[in-house]
Homo-oligomer: A and B are copies of this chain.
Amino acid sequence: MTATPQAEARMTAQFLQALAACLPAEGLVLDEAGRRAYECDALTLFRRLPGVVAIPEEIAQVQAILRLCDDYGVPVVARGAGTGLSGGALPHAEGVLLNLSRLDATLEIDPDRRLARVGAGVRNLAISQAAAPHGLYFAPDPSSQVASTLGGNIAENAGGVHCLKYGLTVNNVVAATLITIDGERLTLGSPLGEAPGLDLLALIHGSEGLLGVVVEAWVELLPLPRDKRVLLAGFAEVTDCAEAVAAIIAAGVVPAGLELMDRAAVVAVEAMVQQGWPCDLGALLICELDGSAAEVTAQSERVTALLKTHGADHLESATDPAEQARIWSVRKAAFPAIARLAPDTLVMDGSVPRRRLAAVLTRIIALAEAYGLRVFNTFHAGDGNIHPVILFDSRLEGELERAESLGQAILRLCVEEGGSITGEHGVGAEKVDAMCDQFSAAELRQFEAIKAAFDPRGLLNPGKLIPTLNRCAELGHLHVKDGRFPHPELPRF
Contact = CB atoms under 8 A, between A and B. Distances in A.
Interface of A: 110-114, 157, 168, 170, 175, 177, 180, 184-187, 189-200, 202-203, 205-207, 211, 216, 218, 222-223, 246, 249-250, 252, 291-292, 294-295, 297-298, 351-355, 383-384, 418-423, 426-427, 431, 435, 438-440, 442-443, 446-447, 449-454, 465-466, 481-483, 485-487, 490, 493
B185 A483 contact: yes
7 contacts: A185-B482, A186-B442, A186-B446, A194-B423, A195-B438, A199-B206, A449-B454
A446 B200 contact: yes
How many copies the complex holds: the figure is 2
A486 B291 contact: no
A171 to B, nearest CB: 8
Contacts of A185: 442, 482-483, 485
Given A113-B353, A198-B450, A384 B192 contact: yes
A413 B437 CA distance: 50
A440 B252 CA distance: 43
Nearest to A225: B252
Which residue of A249, A438, A481, A485 has the most chain B CB atoms within 10 A of its CB atom? A485
Given A194-B383, A197-B465, A198-B451, 18 more contacts: A177-B485, A184-B482, A185-B442, A187-B443, A187-B487, A189-B486, A190-B487, A191-B486, A192-B420, A194-B351, A195-B420, A196-B435, A198-B211, A202-B202, A216-B485, A218-B486, A449-B453, A450-B453
Nearest to A451: B198
Contact of A196 (B420, B453, B454): B420
A83 to B, nearest CB: 19
